[in-house]
Structure 1
């Protein structure tokens, strides 16, 4: 089935580039969903003298990641792809290290999240460069805004470490 000429004018990229961009976004979607639920795992299970402040911080970070998930999924679909955002799809595709499910004490959670946010932020910076290389400044801008937010999240987490 051929596309109407008006629809072709709205296609932003060739098919190969679109496939690469959607794959990039879906990988980021998987990593972001995984990070969100690892952050929620910390929120649910944190214990210790800094419990209340960390409980609130982890919840704020989780909510922020929810917005990121939505933005990435919607960008993949806007490019003509399919967002692969189920928990099972994310869990099997995520590049992040598994969260220590036996973690209880606050600094164990903080340090585990610092490791994962650092890895995630590095992956986001790589995605910025890849989106730029593929000629998609809008997707690169999306990743840049995520990078700024994750830098702040990482700063908040490192500021929560014991001296």
Structure 2
């Protein structure tokens, strides 16, 4: 039984809900990874990367809320519980303790790349199931791609 009725066709709700749940898990975990790195980064680029990590956290948290609310809007309760994140995450976790600035950059480049890859798959799926959800994912992915570009620019250039 659902307390919310939607204009999204019933056949499309399940596929859209799966997409939104996957995006929610990615975003919540990305925000936790970036915040963990934010607290533990060390190195000569501490300040600039420290601030850059907060931008990733803000994007991930803001869009996580939007994604969760979209899921509720189509009649499917979102699941952002810690146990769910632990079971469903596909993002590599940072090691315990202090993190060198170069390691943080590499961690974020990889985490963002994987998240963006899955977002593109989700965009494709929602193009067939729910254009409103697709629109949310398009805006989100543009922001994630911008963060990815900025972290890639922090990597040492090959000689």
Task: Provide TM-score, normalisation by structure 2.
Answer: 0.91
Residue in 1 that maps onto 2:41: 46
Residue in 1 that maps onto 2:132: 138
Residue in 1 that maps onto 2:142: 148
Determine if contact 2:28/2:64 at 8 Å carries over to the other structure.
yes
Residue in 1 that maps onto 2:78: 83
Task: Give the distance between the partners of 1:113 and 1:120, measured in 2 at CA.
Answer: 10
User: 1:6-155 maps to which residues of 2 (within 5 A)?
Assistant: 11-102=6-97, 104-134=99-129, 136-155=130-149
How many residue pairs get matched? Answer: 156
Over 3 Å off, 4+ runs:
none
Root-mean-square deviation (CA, aligned residues, Å) is 1.8
SS at match of 2:99: coil
Task: Give the distance between the partners of 2:107 and 2:52, measured in 1 at CA.
Answer: 14
Alpha-carbon offset, residue 66 of structure 1: 0.6
5+ unaligned residues in a row in structure 1: which ranges?
A: none
Alpha-carbon offset, residue 59 of structure 1: 1.1
5+ unaligned residues in a row in structure 2: which ranges?
A: none
Q: Indicate the structure whose relative CO is greater, using CA pairs within 8 Å and at least 6 residues apart.
A: 2
Task: Give the distance between the partners of 1:101 and 1:12, measured in 2 at CA.
Answer: 46
Determine if contact 2:17/2:76 at 8 Å carries over to the other structure.
yes
Alpha-carbon offset, residue 103 of structure 1: 5.4
Question: Quick check: 103-112 or 124-133, which moved more?
Answer: 103-112
Determine if contact 2:40/2:97 at 8 Å carries over to the other structure.
no
Determine if contact 1:38/1:99 at 8 Å carries over to the other structure.
yes
Determine if contact 2:45/2:101 at 8 Å carries over to the other structure.
yes
